[in-house]
Amino acid sequence: MVKFEHTDEFMDQINNRQEVINLADFLLCNDSFVHEFYMLIRDGSSTQRFNKWKYNYLLRNGVSLKKKEQKFLDLLEDMYAIAKEPHEEFSEQKYVGIIRGSVLEVYIRKLIEVRHKGSIYSNCQVKIGGKTVAVGEGRPQTIDIGLYDKKFTEMYECKVSEHRFEPPKLMFLQHLTEILCKNGSLEFIVAGVSLSDQKALDRRFINCEKVACFGRSNLKKLANFKEANEFAKKRFSA
We report the CATH number of the domain holding residue 220 as 3.40.91.50
**Mean pLDDT lowest among 1-5, 19-23, 84-88, 205-209:** 84-88
Predicted confidence (pLDDT) per residue in 188-225, tens digit: 999 999 999 999 999 999 999 889 999 999 999 999 99
Indicate the residue among 55, 76, 102 that finishes a domain: 102
For residues 83 and 169, membership in a common domain is answered with no
Q: Are residues 126 and 222 in the same domain?
A: yes
> Looking at the 3D structure of the chain, how many domains does it have?
2
Residues 69 and 185 grouped into a single domain: no
- The answer, yes or no, to whether residue 83 has pLDDT greater than 90, is no
Residue 27 neighbours by CB under 8 Å, 6+ apart: 33, 34, 37, 103, 107
Q: Which residue among 84, 102, 120 closes a domain? A: 102
* Mean pLDDT value of segment 96-121: 94
Task: Print burial letters for 39-55: b (CB count within 10 Å at least 16), e (below 16).
Answer: ebbbeebeeebbeebee
Q: What is the pLDDT of residue 224?
A: 94
Task: Judge if 48 and 93 occupy the same domain.
Answer: yes
Residues 91, 154 within the same domain = no
For residues 122 and 32, membership in a common domain is answered with no
| pLDDT at res. 217 | 96
| 30 burial type by CB count under 10 A (0-12 exposed, 13-18 middle, 19+ buried) | middle
| 205 shares its domain with 160 | yes
The residues, ordered by sequence, that sit 6+ positions from 81 with a Cβ below 8 Å of its Cβ are 19
Does 163 lie in the same domain as 92?
no
Query: Do 115 and 91 share a domain, yes or no?
Result: no
Domain around 120: 2-8+111-237
Whole-model pTM: value is 0.93
- Are 166 and 222 found together in one domain? yes
Domain stop point among 47, 75, 102: 102
Q: Is the distance from CB of 130 to CB of 176 less than 8 angstroms?
A: no
131/224 same-domain check: yes
pLDDT band at 142 (very low <50, low <70, confident <90, very high): very high
Same-domain pairing of 127 and 223: yes
